[in-house]
Amino acid sequence: MNIQTAESIDISEYTNGFGVRARAASRILASADTGAKNAALSAIAARFEEQSDVIIAANRRDLDASRLNKLSPALIDRLELTTSRIVAMADGLRQIVALPDPVGEISELRTRPSGIRVGRMRVPIGVVAIVYESRPNVTADAAALCLKSGNAVILRGGSEAIHSNLAIAECISDGLRHAGLPIDAVQIIDNTDRAIVGALVKMSRYVDVIVPRGGKGLIERISAEAEVPVIKHLDGICHVYIDSDADRDKAIRVAENSKTRRYGICGAMETLLVARDVADDVLPELARRYRAAGVELRGCQATREIIADALAATEEDWRTEYLAPILSIRVVDGLDDAIEHIETYGSAHTDSIVTENLTRANRFITCVDSSSVMVNASTQFADGFEYGLGAEIGISTNKLHVRGPVGLEGLTTQKYVVYGDGTIRA
Protein backbone atom coordinates (compact mmCIF):
# COMPACT_ATOMS: atom_id res chain seq x y z
CA MET A 1 0.00 0.00 0.00
CA ASN A 2 2.52 2.56 -1.07
CA ILE A 3 0.92 5.75 -2.20
CA GLN A 4 2.74 7.22 -5.16
CA THR A 5 3.77 10.83 -5.07
CA ALA A 6 3.47 13.05 -8.10
CA GLU A 7 7.12 14.07 -8.14
CA SER A 8 8.30 10.53 -8.64
CA ILE A 9 6.36 9.77 -11.81
CA ASP A 10 5.53 10.88 -15.33
CA ILE A 11 1.79 11.58 -15.11
CA SER A 12 0.81 10.62 -18.61
CA GLU A 13 2.94 7.47 -18.68
CA TYR A 14 1.57 6.49 -15.29
CA THR A 15 -2.06 7.07 -16.29
CA ASN A 16 -1.59 5.36 -19.66
CA GLY A 17 -0.39 2.28 -17.78
CA PHE A 18 -3.80 1.99 -16.13
CA GLY A 19 -5.43 2.34 -19.53
CA VAL A 20 -3.30 -0.32 -21.22
CA ARG A 21 -3.91 -2.81 -18.40
CA ALA A 22 -7.63 -2.04 -18.29
CA ARG A 23 -8.00 -2.50 -22.06
CA ALA A 24 -6.26 -5.89 -21.89
CA ALA A 25 -8.42 -6.99 -18.95
CA SER A 26 -11.59 -5.77 -20.69
CA ARG A 27 -10.96 -8.18 -23.56
CA ILE A 28 -10.90 -11.13 -21.18
CA LEU A 29 -13.83 -9.81 -19.17
CA ALA A 30 -16.00 -9.36 -22.26
CA SER A 31 -16.15 -13.11 -22.72
CA ALA A 32 -16.03 -14.10 -19.04
CA ASP A 33 -19.04 -16.20 -18.14
CA THR A 34 -21.63 -15.13 -15.61
CA GLY A 35 -20.53 -17.83 -13.18
CA ALA A 36 -17.00 -16.48 -12.97
CA LYS A 37 -18.17 -12.89 -12.55
CA ASN A 38 -20.59 -13.90 -9.79
CA ALA A 39 -17.93 -16.05 -8.09
CA ALA A 40 -15.64 -13.02 -8.00
CA LEU A 41 -18.39 -10.81 -6.54
CA SER A 42 -19.25 -13.36 -3.86
CA ALA A 43 -15.59 -13.81 -2.98
CA ILE A 44 -15.11 -10.05 -2.71
CA ALA A 45 -18.15 -9.78 -0.43
CA ALA A 46 -16.77 -12.52 1.82
CA ARG A 47 -13.35 -10.87 1.83
CA PHE A 48 -14.85 -7.53 2.95
CA GLU A 49 -16.33 -9.24 5.98
CA GLU A 50 -13.17 -11.21 6.79
CA GLN A 51 -10.98 -8.13 6.40
CA SER A 52 -13.35 -5.81 8.18
CA ASP A 53 -10.75 -4.92 10.87
CA VAL A 54 -8.09 -4.15 8.28
CA ILE A 55 -10.48 -1.92 6.33
CA ILE A 56 -11.56 -0.11 9.50
CA ALA A 57 -7.93 0.47 10.49
CA ALA A 58 -7.15 1.96 7.08
CA ASN A 59 -10.32 4.04 7.28
CA ARG A 60 -9.16 5.38 10.67
CA ARG A 61 -6.04 6.80 9.02
CA ASP A 62 -8.27 8.66 6.54
CA LEU A 63 -10.56 9.89 9.32
CA ASP A 64 -7.63 11.16 11.38
CA ALA A 65 -6.20 13.03 8.42
CA SER A 66 -9.61 14.48 7.57
CA ARG A 67 -10.06 15.78 11.12
CA LEU A 68 -6.61 17.32 10.96
CA ASN A 69 -7.53 18.90 7.62
CA LYS A 70 -10.75 20.17 9.22
CA LEU A 71 -13.14 18.56 6.74
CA SER A 72 -16.81 19.21 7.47
CA PRO A 73 -18.59 16.81 9.85
CA ALA A 74 -20.92 15.79 6.99
CA LEU A 75 -17.95 14.79 4.83
CA ILE A 76 -16.32 12.94 7.70
CA ASP A 77 -19.56 11.06 8.32
CA ARG A 78 -19.71 9.99 4.67
CA LEU A 79 -16.11 8.86 4.86
CA GLU A 80 -16.47 6.72 7.98
CA LEU A 81 -16.64 2.93 7.65
CA THR A 82 -18.10 0.88 10.50
CA THR A 83 -18.61 -2.86 10.75
CA SER A 84 -22.25 -2.45 9.82
CA ARG A 85 -21.38 -0.26 6.82
CA ILE A 86 -18.93 -2.92 5.66
CA VAL A 87 -21.60 -5.61 6.00
CA ALA A 88 -23.95 -3.38 3.99
CA MET A 89 -21.23 -3.05 1.32
CA ALA A 90 -20.91 -6.84 1.14
CA ASP A 91 -24.70 -7.24 0.95
CA GLY A 92 -24.78 -4.73 -1.91
CA LEU A 93 -22.40 -6.99 -3.83
CA ARG A 94 -24.55 -10.05 -3.14
CA GLN A 95 -27.54 -8.17 -4.54
CA ILE A 96 -25.59 -7.56 -7.74
CA VAL A 97 -24.78 -11.29 -7.90
CA ALA A 98 -28.53 -11.92 -7.91
CA LEU A 99 -29.18 -9.60 -10.88
CA PRO A 100 -29.39 -11.09 -14.38
CA ASP A 101 -26.25 -10.71 -16.49
CA PRO A 102 -27.08 -8.21 -19.26
CA VAL A 103 -24.22 -9.35 -21.51
CA GLY A 104 -24.79 -11.62 -24.49
CA GLU A 105 -28.52 -11.12 -24.93
CA ILE A 106 -29.40 -11.07 -28.63
CA SER A 107 -32.59 -9.20 -29.40
CA GLU A 108 -34.68 -8.46 -32.46
CA LEU A 109 -33.06 -11.28 -34.47
CA ARG A 110 -34.89 -11.21 -37.78
CA THR A 111 -34.42 -12.87 -41.16
CA ARG A 112 -34.04 -10.36 -43.99
CA PRO A 113 -35.10 -10.83 -47.62
CA SER A 114 -31.44 -11.39 -48.58
CA GLY A 115 -31.30 -14.44 -46.33
CA ILE A 116 -29.11 -12.97 -43.59
CA ARG A 117 -30.39 -12.99 -40.02
CA VAL A 118 -29.70 -9.70 -38.23
CA GLY A 119 -29.94 -9.04 -34.50
CA ARG A 120 -28.42 -6.90 -31.79
CA MET A 121 -26.21 -8.32 -29.10
CA ARG A 122 -25.73 -6.62 -25.74
CA VAL A 123 -22.03 -6.25 -24.96
CA PRO A 124 -19.92 -4.44 -22.35
CA ILE A 125 -18.84 -0.90 -23.21
CA GLY A 126 -15.21 -1.84 -22.55
CA VAL A 127 -13.31 0.33 -20.09
CA VAL A 128 -15.18 2.58 -17.66
CA ALA A 129 -13.45 5.21 -15.53
CA ILE A 130 -15.17 6.43 -12.39
CA VAL A 131 -14.06 9.58 -10.63
CA TYR A 132 -15.68 10.12 -7.26
CA GLU A 133 -15.40 11.82 -3.93
CA SER A 134 -15.46 10.83 -0.32
CA ARG A 135 -17.66 7.74 0.21
CA PRO A 136 -15.44 4.65 0.07
CA ASN A 137 -18.43 2.36 -0.45
CA VAL A 138 -18.59 3.74 -4.02
CA THR A 139 -15.36 1.83 -4.64
CA ALA A 140 -17.07 -1.48 -3.93
CA ASP A 141 -20.34 -0.55 -5.54
CA ALA A 142 -18.96 0.83 -8.81
CA ALA A 143 -16.43 -1.98 -9.15
CA ALA A 144 -19.18 -4.56 -8.75
CA LEU A 145 -21.50 -2.95 -11.30
CA CYS A 146 -18.71 -2.68 -13.87
CA LEU A 147 -17.56 -6.25 -13.22
CA LYS A 148 -21.05 -7.72 -13.55
CA SER A 149 -21.60 -5.85 -16.82
CA GLY A 150 -18.26 -7.15 -18.17
CA ASN A 151 -16.38 -3.85 -18.12
CA ALA A 152 -12.91 -3.20 -16.81
CA VAL A 153 -12.92 -0.22 -14.49
CA ILE A 154 -10.43 2.41 -13.42
CA LEU A 155 -11.42 4.00 -10.12
CA ARG A 156 -10.19 7.35 -8.92
CA GLY A 157 -11.48 8.19 -5.46
CA GLY A 158 -10.84 11.27 -3.40
CA SER A 159 -7.53 11.79 -1.64
CA GLU A 160 -9.35 11.92 1.72
CA ALA A 161 -10.37 8.24 1.29
CA ILE A 162 -7.19 6.85 -0.24
CA HIS A 163 -6.27 4.40 2.54
CA SER A 164 -9.83 3.08 2.80
CA ASN A 165 -10.03 2.67 -0.96
CA LEU A 166 -6.74 0.82 -1.16
CA ALA A 167 -7.81 -1.59 1.59
CA ILE A 168 -11.06 -2.23 -0.28
CA ALA A 169 -9.08 -2.66 -3.50
CA GLU A 170 -6.96 -5.34 -1.88
CA CYS A 171 -10.12 -7.36 -1.14
CA ILE A 172 -11.37 -6.86 -4.70
CA SER A 173 -8.06 -8.14 -6.12
CA ASP A 174 -8.28 -11.21 -3.89
CA GLY A 175 -11.80 -11.93 -5.08
CA LEU A 176 -10.86 -11.54 -8.76
CA ARG A 177 -7.86 -13.83 -8.29
CA HIS A 178 -10.06 -16.36 -6.52
CA ALA A 179 -12.43 -16.47 -9.52
CA GLY A 180 -9.61 -16.66 -12.07
CA LEU A 181 -10.38 -13.22 -13.51
CA PRO A 182 -7.66 -10.67 -14.33
CA ILE A 183 -6.90 -8.45 -11.33
CA ASP A 184 -6.59 -5.50 -13.72
CA ALA A 185 -10.35 -5.73 -14.23
CA VAL A 186 -10.62 -3.36 -11.26
CA GLN A 187 -7.80 -0.89 -10.76
CA ILE A 188 -7.66 1.85 -8.17
CA ILE A 189 -5.41 4.77 -8.91
CA ASP A 190 -3.03 4.86 -5.96
CA ASN A 191 -1.95 8.44 -6.52
CA THR A 192 -3.84 11.49 -5.37
CA ASP A 193 -2.36 14.04 -7.78
CA ARG A 194 -5.21 15.92 -9.45
CA ALA A 195 -3.33 16.03 -12.76
CA ILE A 196 -4.08 12.34 -13.15
CA VAL A 197 -7.79 13.03 -13.56
CA GLY A 198 -6.90 15.49 -16.31
CA ALA A 199 -4.91 12.80 -18.10
CA LEU A 200 -7.55 10.13 -17.52
CA VAL A 201 -10.39 12.05 -19.15
CA LYS A 202 -8.37 12.61 -22.31
CA MET A 203 -7.35 8.97 -22.73
CA SER A 204 -9.91 8.10 -25.40
CA ARG A 205 -7.78 5.26 -26.72
CA TYR A 206 -8.10 3.32 -23.48
CA VAL A 207 -11.21 4.67 -21.76
CA ASP A 208 -14.65 4.33 -23.36
CA VAL A 209 -16.70 6.32 -20.88
CA ILE A 210 -16.21 8.41 -17.75
CA VAL A 211 -18.72 8.46 -14.91
CA PRO A 212 -18.07 11.29 -12.45
CA ARG A 213 -19.84 10.88 -9.12
CA GLY A 214 -19.80 13.79 -6.77
CA GLY A 215 -20.55 17.47 -6.51
CA LYS A 216 -21.47 19.74 -9.37
CA GLY A 217 -18.00 21.27 -9.43
CA LEU A 218 -16.34 17.92 -10.06
CA ILE A 219 -18.80 17.01 -12.81
CA GLU A 220 -18.54 20.35 -14.59
CA ARG A 221 -14.74 20.27 -14.50
CA ILE A 222 -14.61 16.75 -15.91
CA SER A 223 -17.20 17.47 -18.61
CA ALA A 224 -15.30 20.54 -19.73
CA GLU A 225 -11.98 18.72 -19.97
CA ALA A 226 -13.09 15.30 -21.18
CA GLU A 227 -12.34 13.97 -24.63
CA VAL A 228 -13.95 10.69 -23.61
CA PRO A 229 -17.79 10.50 -23.46
CA VAL A 230 -19.13 11.39 -20.00
CA ILE A 231 -22.24 9.95 -18.37
CA LYS A 232 -23.03 12.96 -16.31
CA HIS A 233 -25.42 13.89 -13.62
CA LEU A 234 -25.90 17.60 -13.23
CA ASP A 235 -28.65 19.45 -11.33
CA GLY A 236 -31.91 18.02 -10.17
CA ILE A 237 -34.20 21.04 -10.16
CA CYS A 238 -37.37 18.96 -9.88
CA HIS A 239 -40.92 20.30 -10.08
CA VAL A 240 -44.33 19.16 -8.98
CA TYR A 241 -47.22 20.81 -10.82
CA ILE A 242 -50.60 20.67 -9.10
CA ASP A 243 -53.16 20.94 -11.88
CA SER A 244 -56.62 22.49 -11.51
CA ASP A 245 -58.06 18.98 -11.93
CA ALA A 246 -55.84 17.47 -9.24
CA ASP A 247 -57.30 15.33 -6.49
CA ARG A 248 -56.72 17.43 -3.39
CA ASP A 249 -55.48 14.60 -1.16
CA LYS A 250 -53.13 13.19 -3.78
CA ALA A 251 -51.79 16.67 -4.48
CA ILE A 252 -50.99 17.36 -0.85
CA ARG A 253 -49.51 13.92 -0.31
CA VAL A 254 -47.29 14.05 -3.41
CA ALA A 255 -46.18 17.67 -2.87
CA GLU A 256 -45.33 16.99 0.78
CA ASN A 257 -43.40 13.77 0.12
CA SER A 258 -41.56 15.17 -2.92
CA LYS A 259 -39.99 17.81 -0.68
CA THR A 260 -39.80 16.48 2.85
CA ARG A 261 -38.93 12.78 2.60
CA ARG A 262 -35.28 13.64 2.03
CA TYR A 263 -33.88 17.05 1.19
CA GLY A 264 -30.40 16.21 -0.06
CA ILE A 265 -31.19 13.87 -2.96
CA CYS A 266 -31.37 14.92 -6.59
CA GLY A 267 -34.99 13.73 -6.88
CA ALA A 268 -36.19 16.15 -4.19
CA MET A 269 -38.66 18.78 -5.45
CA GLU A 270 -37.20 22.28 -5.46
CA THR A 271 -40.11 24.22 -6.96
CA LEU A 272 -43.84 23.65 -6.52
CA LEU A 273 -46.11 24.95 -9.28
CA VAL A 274 -49.80 25.34 -8.47
CA ALA A 275 -52.67 26.11 -10.86
CA ARG A 276 -54.32 29.40 -9.89
CA ASP A 277 -57.77 27.76 -9.61
CA VAL A 278 -56.74 25.47 -6.77
CA ALA A 279 -54.02 27.53 -5.06
CA ASP A 280 -56.41 28.79 -2.36
CA ASP A 281 -57.51 25.24 -1.69
CA VAL A 282 -54.18 23.43 -1.42
CA LEU A 283 -51.55 25.97 -0.40
CA PRO A 284 -52.71 26.71 3.19
CA GLU A 285 -52.66 23.00 4.13
CA LEU A 286 -49.33 22.45 2.36
CA ALA A 287 -47.84 25.51 4.10
CA ARG A 288 -48.92 24.05 7.44
CA ARG A 289 -47.19 20.75 6.66
CA TYR A 290 -44.02 22.34 5.29
CA ARG A 291 -43.84 24.60 8.32
CA ALA A 292 -44.20 21.58 10.61
CA ALA A 293 -41.28 19.94 8.80
CA GLY A 294 -39.18 23.09 9.09
CA VAL A 295 -39.18 23.96 5.38
CA GLU A 296 -38.53 27.60 4.49
CA LEU A 297 -40.99 28.80 1.83
CA ARG A 298 -40.22 31.34 -0.90
CA GLY A 299 -43.10 32.31 -3.16
CA CYS A 300 -44.27 34.46 -6.02
CA GLN A 301 -46.62 37.36 -5.29
CA ALA A 302 -49.77 35.23 -5.63
CA THR A 303 -48.31 32.61 -3.28
CA ARG A 304 -47.49 35.22 -0.67
CA GLU A 305 -51.08 36.46 -0.76
CA ILE A 306 -52.09 32.98 0.39
CA ILE A 307 -49.07 32.10 2.55
CA ALA A 308 -48.40 35.30 4.43
CA ASP A 309 -45.07 34.28 5.94
CA ALA A 310 -43.48 33.04 2.72
CA LEU A 311 -40.42 35.04 1.64
CA ALA A 312 -40.37 36.67 -1.79
CA ALA A 313 -38.83 34.31 -4.34
CA THR A 314 -36.28 35.89 -6.67
CA GLU A 315 -35.47 34.95 -10.26
CA GLU A 316 -32.47 33.09 -8.82
CA ASP A 317 -34.73 30.88 -6.69
CA TRP A 318 -36.37 29.31 -9.73
CA ARG A 319 -32.93 28.22 -10.94
CA THR A 320 -31.65 26.87 -7.64
CA GLU A 321 -31.21 23.27 -6.53
CA TYR A 322 -31.43 23.87 -2.77
CA LEU A 323 -30.84 20.27 -1.61
CA ALA A 324 -32.07 21.69 1.68
CA PRO A 325 -35.33 22.41 3.53
CA ILE A 326 -36.16 25.36 1.29
CA LEU A 327 -38.95 25.37 -1.30
CA SER A 328 -39.93 27.88 -3.96
CA ILE A 329 -43.62 28.06 -4.88
CA ARG A 330 -45.17 29.67 -7.94
CA VAL A 331 -48.83 30.04 -8.85
CA VAL A 332 -49.29 29.48 -12.61
CA ASP A 333 -52.21 29.99 -14.94
CA GLY A 334 -52.41 26.36 -15.95
CA LEU A 335 -50.62 23.51 -17.69
CA ASP A 336 -49.02 25.52 -20.50
CA ASP A 337 -47.68 28.04 -18.04
CA ALA A 338 -46.29 25.20 -15.89
CA ILE A 339 -44.61 23.55 -18.88
CA GLU A 340 -43.06 26.86 -19.86
CA HIS A 341 -41.73 27.39 -16.35
CA ILE A 342 -40.20 23.90 -16.34
CA GLU A 343 -38.65 24.44 -19.77
CA THR A 344 -37.18 27.76 -18.71
CA TYR A 345 -35.90 26.95 -15.24
CA GLY A 346 -35.82 23.16 -14.96
CA SER A 347 -32.83 20.89 -15.33
CA ALA A 348 -34.55 18.09 -17.27
CA HIS A 349 -34.15 15.70 -14.33
CA THR A 350 -37.55 14.70 -12.85
CA ASP A 351 -40.89 16.48 -12.99
CA SER A 352 -44.34 15.37 -11.87
CA ILE A 353 -47.92 16.45 -12.55
CA VAL A 354 -50.78 15.84 -10.16
CA THR A 355 -54.04 15.66 -12.10
CA GLU A 356 -57.09 13.49 -12.71
CA ASN A 357 -57.31 14.84 -16.27
CA LEU A 358 -56.04 12.25 -18.77
CA THR A 359 -55.41 14.65 -21.65
CA ARG A 360 -53.37 16.99 -19.49
CA ALA A 361 -51.41 14.09 -17.98
CA ASN A 362 -50.50 12.92 -21.49
CA ARG A 363 -49.63 16.42 -22.59
CA PHE A 364 -47.33 16.86 -19.60
CA ILE A 365 -45.63 13.52 -20.33
CA THR A 366 -45.12 14.41 -23.99
CA CYS A 367 -44.07 18.03 -23.60
CA VAL A 368 -41.85 17.96 -20.54
CA ASP A 369 -38.42 16.97 -21.80
CA SER A 370 -36.98 15.44 -18.62
CA SER A 371 -35.25 12.16 -17.89
CA SER A 372 -38.23 11.14 -15.74
CA VAL A 373 -41.76 12.47 -16.13
CA MET A 374 -44.32 11.43 -13.55
CA VAL A 375 -48.07 11.48 -13.05
CA ASN A 376 -49.49 11.52 -9.52
CA ALA A 377 -46.23 10.25 -8.04
CA SER A 378 -43.57 11.72 -5.79
CA THR A 379 -40.40 12.97 -7.52
CA GLN A 380 -38.48 11.15 -4.77
CA PHE A 381 -39.09 7.91 -6.70
CA ALA A 382 -36.38 8.95 -9.20
CA ASP A 383 -33.96 6.17 -8.25
CA GLY A 384 -32.61 3.02 -9.88
CA PHE A 385 -33.77 0.71 -7.09
CA GLU A 386 -37.29 2.15 -7.12
CA TYR A 387 -37.41 1.74 -10.92
CA GLY A 388 -36.39 -1.90 -10.63
CA LEU A 389 -32.88 -1.63 -12.08
CA GLY A 390 -31.59 -3.51 -9.04
CA ALA A 391 -28.58 -1.24 -8.72
CA GLU A 392 -27.57 2.22 -9.82
CA ILE A 393 -24.31 3.79 -10.92
CA GLY A 394 -25.90 7.22 -11.07
CA ILE A 395 -28.68 9.23 -12.67
CA SER A 396 -27.87 10.54 -16.13
CA THR A 397 -28.98 13.96 -17.27
CA ASN A 398 -27.47 13.26 -20.69
CA LYS A 399 -29.95 12.83 -23.52
CA LEU A 400 -27.96 10.26 -25.49
CA HIS A 401 -27.12 6.66 -24.56
CA VAL A 402 -28.69 6.68 -21.09
CA ARG A 403 -31.17 9.00 -19.50
CA GLY A 404 -32.33 8.82 -15.89
CA PRO A 405 -31.21 6.15 -13.40
CA VAL A 406 -28.39 4.04 -14.86
CA GLY A 407 -28.10 0.37 -13.95
CA LEU A 408 -26.25 -2.55 -15.50
CA GLU A 409 -27.86 -2.02 -18.91
CA GLY A 410 -26.51 1.53 -19.06
CA LEU A 411 -23.01 0.09 -18.71
CA THR A 412 -23.50 -1.97 -21.86
CA THR A 413 -24.02 -1.19 -25.53
CA GLN A 414 -25.29 -3.22 -28.48
CA LYS A 415 -23.54 -4.44 -31.59
CA TYR A 416 -25.12 -5.95 -34.67
CA VAL A 417 -24.69 -9.68 -35.27
CA VAL A 418 -25.30 -11.01 -38.77
CA TYR A 419 -25.62 -14.70 -39.60
CA GLY A 420 -25.44 -15.95 -43.17
CA ASP A 421 -24.75 -19.22 -44.89
CA GLY A 422 -22.15 -18.06 -47.36
CA THR A 423 -24.59 -15.25 -48.12
CA ILE A 424 -23.46 -12.50 -50.48
CA ARG A 425 -24.99 -9.15 -51.34
CA ALA A 426 -26.52 -8.82 -54.79
Q: Is-contact 268 258, C-beta < 8 A?
A: yes
Q: How far is the CB of 352 from a second copy (least distance, A)?
A: 8
Among 22, 43, 89, 123, binds a second copy (CB under 8 A): 123
Q: Does 254 bind a second copy (CB under 8 A)?
A: yes
Among 125, 167, 185, 196, binds a second copy (CB under 8 A): 125
**φ and ψ at residue 423, rounded to 5 degrees:** -80, 135
> What is the crossing angle of helices 34-50 and 137-148, to 10°?
160
Q: How far is the CB of 96 from a second copy (least distance, A)?
A: 19
Beta-strand (E) ranges in 53-116? 106-111
| Contacts with 385 (C-beta within 8 Å, 6 or more apart), sequence order | 391, 392
> Is the CB of 212 or the CB of 405 nearer to a second copy?
405
Q: How far is the CB of 350 from a second copy (least distance, A)?
A: 8
Q: Does 264 bind a second copy (CB under 8 A)?
A: no
Q: Is-contact 47 63, C-beta < 8 A?
A: no
Please list every residue from 60 through 119 that binds a second copy, using CB under 8 A: 104, 110, 112, 114, 116, 118
CA-nearest of 40, 47, 44 to 181 is 40
Please list every residue from 318 through 357 that binds a second copy, using CB under 8 A: 343, 352, 354
Q: Is-contact 132 212, C-beta < 8 A?
A: yes
For a second copy (CB under 8 A), the number of binding residues is 69
Q: Which residues pair with 110 in a beta bridge?
A: 118
Q: Is-contact 350 268, C-beta < 8 A?
A: no
Q: Is-contact 378 352, C-beta < 8 A?
A: yes
Q: Which helix (H) or strand (E) element contains residue 296?
A: strand 296-299
Among 299, 394, 405, 407, binds a second copy (CB under 8 A): 405
Q: Is-contact 354 255, C-beta < 8 A?
A: yes
CA-nearest of 164, 157, 128 to 18 is 128
Window of 7-15, 77-85, 247-255, 291-299 that interacts with a second copy by CB under 8 A: 247-255
352 φψ region: left (φ > 0), alpha (ψ -120 to 50), beta (else): beta
**φ and ψ at residue 41, rounded to 5 degrees:** -60, -45
Q: Does 369 bind a second copy (CB under 8 A)?
A: yes
Among 371, 393, 406, 407, binds a second copy (CB under 8 A): 371
Q: How far is the CB of 164 from a second copy (least distance, A)?
A: 30
Number of Cβ within a 10 Å radius of residue 293 = 14
Window of 151-159, 185-193, 194-202, 368-376 that interacts with a second copy by CB under 8 A: 368-376
Please list every residue from 407 through 426 that binds a second copy, using CB under 8 A: 413-425
Window of 47-55, 190-198, 235-243, 367-375 that interacts with a second copy by CB under 8 A: 367-375
Q: How far is the CB of 31 from a second copy (least distance, A)?
A: 5
Q: Is-contact 148 99, C-beta < 8 A?
A: yes
Window of 5-13, 75-83, 311-319, 394-402 that interacts with a second copy by CB under 8 A: 394-402
Q: How far is the CB of 113 from a second copy (least distance, A)?
A: 9
Q: How far is the CB of 361 from a second copy (least distance, A)?
A: 8
Q: How far is the CB of 197 from a second copy (least distance, A)?
A: 19
CA-nearest of 107, 117, 186, 175 to 151 is 186
Q: Does 121 bind a second copy (CB under 8 A)?
A: yes
Q: How far is CA 50 from the centre of its chain?
A: 29
Q: Is-contact 223 63, C-beta < 8 A?
A: no
Q: Does 216 bind a second copy (CB under 8 A)?
A: no
Q: Does 257 bind a second copy (CB under 8 A)?
A: yes
Window of 66-74, 87-95, 286-294, 371-379 that interacts with a second copy by CB under 8 A: 371-379
186 φψ region: left (φ > 0), alpha (ψ -120 to 50), beta (else): beta
Q: How far is the CB of 63 from a second copy (least distance, A)?
A: 32
> Is the CB of 26 or the CB of 320 nearer to a second copy?
26
Among 285, 326, 365, 390, binds a second copy (CB under 8 A): 365
What strands lie across the sheet with 326-332, from one edge to the other?
311-312, 296-299, 326-332, 269-275, 238-242, 350-354
Quick check: helix, strand or coil at residue 154?
A: strand
Q: How far is the CB of 185 from a second copy (least distance, A)?
A: 16
Positions touching a second copy (CB under 8 A) are: 27, 30-31, 104, 110, 112, 114, 116, 118, 121, 123, 125-126, 208-209, 229, 247, 249-251, 253-254, 256-258, 261, 343, 352, 354, 363, 365-367, 369-378, 380-382, 386-388, 398-401, 403-405, 413-425
